[in-house]
Amino acid sequence: MLQISERGLQMPPSPIRKLVPYAEAAKKKGIKVYHLNIGQPDIETPPAIMDAVRKADIKVLEYSHSAGNESYRKKLVEYYKRVGIHVDHTQIMITAGGSEAIIFGFMSCLNPGDEIIIPEPFYANYNGFAVMAGVRVVPITSYIDQGFALPPIEDFEKVITPRTRGIVVCSPNNPTGYLYSRQEMEALRDICLKHNLYLFSDEAYREFCYSGTYVSAMHLEGMEEHVVLMDTISKRYSACGARIGAFVTKNRKVYDVAMKFAQARLSPPGLAQIMGEAAVDLPGDYFNKPRTEYLNRRNLLVKRLNAMPDVYCPNPGGAFYAIARLPIDDSDKFCQWLLESFSFKNQTVMLAPATGFYGTPGLGKNEVRLAYVLNLEAIDAAMDCLEEALKVYPGRR
């Protein structure tokens, strides 16, 4: 009998997308579904970056350099300088979205059997990337009652073993929206230096900070050899389908090894690199409007949630996600029930069960992640649906 690989069997399904068939079935019944389950912004992709592709005079769409077009990488040097990150273009590699940057980081720095520590709840696909690299994710729990602040460093110390090779941090955070403070980032720096660990820093949401100050891992002194930054234009410019990201490190050995993986996949997407390059030239105030829009959405969402009986949602400091605690028995069952058995005014809401964002079994059973990527009117209507659903859900607690 033909066998399926152990790696393939261990790959976790997406907790964000697994409910899609139920959403599709609800829509076939004529029910409107408000999608707060996935980070797909409804903000318009900047016309200027779309026009750059339309106006490109291309006779042959050739491979680019495996590290990405030099012109784009040099443009990104300007972009990073504006956010206080000082690198040159030979320390930047263009990737197929932030996902490939994370994969390159794990594959270049970690061996099968190695361990990486990640504060939970965390971006669910880190699990999949870890399986690809053959490494083990060791979760350290942060708690909703503390707003998902960084767990005490003592908790990290307790799980460090001879196999520990790195820590993964995402700030502002997906799925919690938590924005790590300078003090928290410096605590991570200190433990990485003490134990000679890599710090993998996912900074996809740096433009969307609403309280506190954005601190990059690249801002930390003494970490030049330890930091691998993973980046993307997907959320920043509402260009998720472009699949353009960046892998950035000052560690030359890590960069050179990652280049081998980049060469094996030949080159990043050509047309989308034109989009990325054009994005660097957007006006300096471009982010003011989307940032304000997301802030207004956050304020409405958090206000509506916390006004519901027995519901609690901490105020996210950035990104466009929030995790809420609900009076329910099982978030997976509840999110499926919303699509399969409930509607209010012929409408319902699609949420992401928080169980998929925890590495520790049993956590997140009464929590959901909400992505405030819809306009204010849609968020208000979605919250109406959720409020009514909680009144009649059979598994309410």
Kindly list the domain boundaries of the chain, sorted by start residue: 6-44+287-392, 47-280
The tally of CA atoms less than 13 A away on the side-chain side of residue 41 is 23
Report residue 179 as tokens. 């924005």
pLDDT confidence bin for 354, thresholds 50/70/90: very high
Report residue 234 as tokens. 């997907």
Confidence check: pLDDT of 35 > 80: yes
**From CA 152, how far away is CA 141, in angstroms rounded?**
10
> Distance of alpha carbon 21 from its chain centroid, rounded?
23
Confidence check: pLDDT of 15 > 90: no
Among residues 191, 277, 218, which one has the least CA distance to residue 242? Answer: 277
Looking at residue 241, its pLDDT comes to 95
Confidence check: pLDDT of 16 > 90: no
C-beta atoms surrounding 31 within 10 Å: 17
Q: Over the stretch 261-309, which tens digit does the pLDDT of each residue have?
A: 999 999 999 999 999 999 999 999 999 999 999 999 999 999 999 999 9
Cα angle 351-40-341, degrees, rounded to a multiple of 5: 25
**Mean pLDDT on 374-385:** 98
Over the range 175-195, which residues count as b (16 or more CB within 10 Å of their CB) and which as e? bbbbbbbeebbbbbbebbeee
Q: Are 244 and 273 in contact (CB under 8 A)?
A: yes
pTM reported for the whole predicted model? 0.96
**From CA 93, how far away is CA 115, in angstroms rounded?**
25
The domain defined by 47-280 carries CATH number 3.40.50.300:
no
**DSSP H helical ranges for 165-210:** 182-195
Percentage of the chain beyond pLDDT 70 is 100
- Architecture of the domain delimited by 6-44+287-392: Alpha-Beta Complex (3.90)
Cα→Cα distances 207→102, 105, 288, Å: 20, 23, 9
Among residues 386, 299, 394, which one has the least CA distance to residue 351? Answer: 386
Looking at residue 338, its pLDDT comes to 98
Mean pLDDT of the chain: 97
Q: Over the stretch 117-168, which tens digit does the pLDDT of each residue have?
A: 999 999 999 999 999 999 999 999 999 999 999 999 999 999 999 999 999 9
Over the range 233-247, which residues count as b (16 or more CB within 10 Å of their CB) and which as e? bbbbbbbbebbbbbb
Determine which of 14-23, 44-53, 65-74 has the lowest per-residue pLDDT on average.
14-23
C-beta atoms surrounding 34 within 10 Å: 20
Looking at residue 13, its pLDDT comes to 83
**From CA 150, how far away is CA 119, in angstroms rounded?**
7
Give the dihedral sign, CA 180/181/187/189: positive
E strand segments, the chain: 32-35, 92-95, 115-120, 136-141, 164-170, 198-202, 227-232, 245-249, 321-325, 347-350, 352-353, 367-371
Give the dihedral sign, CA 78/83/84/90: negative
